[in-house]
Structures are given as structure tokens and as C-alpha cells.
Amino acid sequence: MTIDGEEDVVGLRLAGAAVADARDNAIAAVEPGISTAELDSIAGTVLSQHGAVSAPKLAYDFPGHTCISVNDAAAHGIPSREVILRDGDLVNIDVSAELNGYWADTGASTAVGEASPTIARLLEATKLAQADAMAAARAGRPIRLIGRAVQKRADAYGFSVLANLNGHGVGRFIHETPDIPSIEIRRNRERLVEGMVIAVEPFLSISGTYAIESEDRWTLRTNDASLVAQFEHTMIVTNHEPIVLTLPVSSAPELTKT
């Protein structure tokens, strides 16, 4: 969507606050011995407290409030009581929801227990790549510059980008146009527009280059079974720095429901 006034900004901020709060509460609960179903329940409870509805459930009848992906699983991991996190794992929690007609999407990855040097480096690179991508997103600029920024950061760290997992438009539905690739596609001449709402979410891997569908028909895994991390924010494109809607709730502007 493209915003049409302050009412849209307020609505999007409230939706963004809901998913950010759920993300951060679930991430804070990550520890060895907890199941991904327990983390999903935490996030689902927080969404309910905000009056928000899980986007994967609402839009796609997904079997969970959130997508929780472990190690080589990049996205759409199904929360399960049988998936118990272990020390040394890498977990991603992706939270998206609808609130009063507005949709927002966010995600974060973290180590379980003490991070290995490799995982710590992958997390650092991915978080920086996401920040670089947002910095490249300015009204009037080509969308492909976002992918260029991600690729540059991944290359600097010696990691790869999952080329077939894109960011996307968001706001009135969970997945809208335009696609926001995390690699530079030179033939793509589409440009960002002021007020456009997008979710930017690079996936960096130790060595994987694309994601493949698992037997459960939901979970997407790296093509070579290597580790992968993701960070994601929903933002409004401006002529200057973007308005990031999914910052931690403690650092976001105070909001009043209308």
C-alpha cells in the first residue's frame, strides 16, 4: 500500500507495535529446552493483548501464530511441541499480524544459548545487511539498490544471500507488490514511491544460495542445509530515512488508538 494521510500512519504504527512486541517477547524467551510451540504461544498471547490477529493464520491458514525456523530452515517453520531448542541452535521468529485493517511484518534471528563464532558473525552480518537495505530505500530510487546493499554486506562477510526469498509490499494485506529482492536484479527498473509500505527482510546463509520447500509443504530450507539468518522490519518509504514501524516497543513513539 501507499499511505494516504496520518490515519494510515497511526494504524500501521499500532500494527507494527503489536508484531514487534510479540517478536521481542518470544525472542527473550529463547533458551535451551524450550519448544517452538511454547515460543509461538508467547507471541500469540502478545498479539491477542494488542487485539491483533496472526497474519499467517488469517491469510493462509498456517498452523501457528508465527513462523519459527531453526538452523537450516529459513522461513515458514511450523511451531511444534516436538521441536526443542538446543544450545548452539540458530532460531528465527517471524511475526506478522493484522490490526484494524492494517498489516505489519517483522522477524529476528538469535542464537540459542551461547553463540558460536560462526553464528555470531552470521547474525551480525544479517542485521547489518537489513540496516543497509533500509538505508538504501529512498523514494525515487530503484528497488534494485536494496538488493545491491544486501549483496555488498554479505560479500564483505563471506556469506551468501538466498536469492529466491524476497521482501514485499505490505499494509492492506500481508504480501503485496512490489517484490523487494535481496539481490540486485539489474533489469528491474521499478522505483520506490514516497509513502510506499514495504517489508525488507534479507536472508543470509553460510553458503546456501536459494531456499527449497520441505516435505511439510511449508518450511523453506537452504539448498545445501547450511545455517541461515533473517532480520525484517516493516517501513514507510520517504525521501529521507524511512519510518520504521516495527522497532522495539520501548523505542517506538507513544501511540493512542483511534
Q: Could you state, in order of their start, the residue ranges of all structural domains in the chain? A: 6-251
Specify whether the CB–CB gap between 35 and 84 falls below 8 A. Answer: yes
Per-residue pLDDT tens digits for 130-166: 999 999 999 999 999 999 999 999 999 999 999 999 9
| pLDDT greater than 60 at residue 257 | no
Report pLDDT for 253: 56
| Cβ neighbours, 10 Å, residue 212 | 14
| pLDDT greater than 90 at residue 113 | yes
Report pLDDT for 251: 62
Report pLDDT for 256: 44
CATH of domain 6-251: 3.90.230.10
| Cβ neighbours, 10 Å, residue 108 | 26
Per-residue pLDDT tens digits for 1-52: 999 999 999 999 999 999 999 999 999 999 999 999 999 999 999 999 999 9
| pLDDT greater than 60 at residue 254 | no
Phi and psi dihedrals of 86, rounded to 5? Answer: -120, 155
Per-residue pLDDT tens digits for 69-109: 999 999 999 999 999 999 999 999 999 999 999 999 999 99
- Residue 178 preceded by cis peptide, ω within 30: yes
> Can you give the pTM of this predicted structure?
0.95
Quick one: cell of 158? 563471506
Report pLDDT for 250: 75
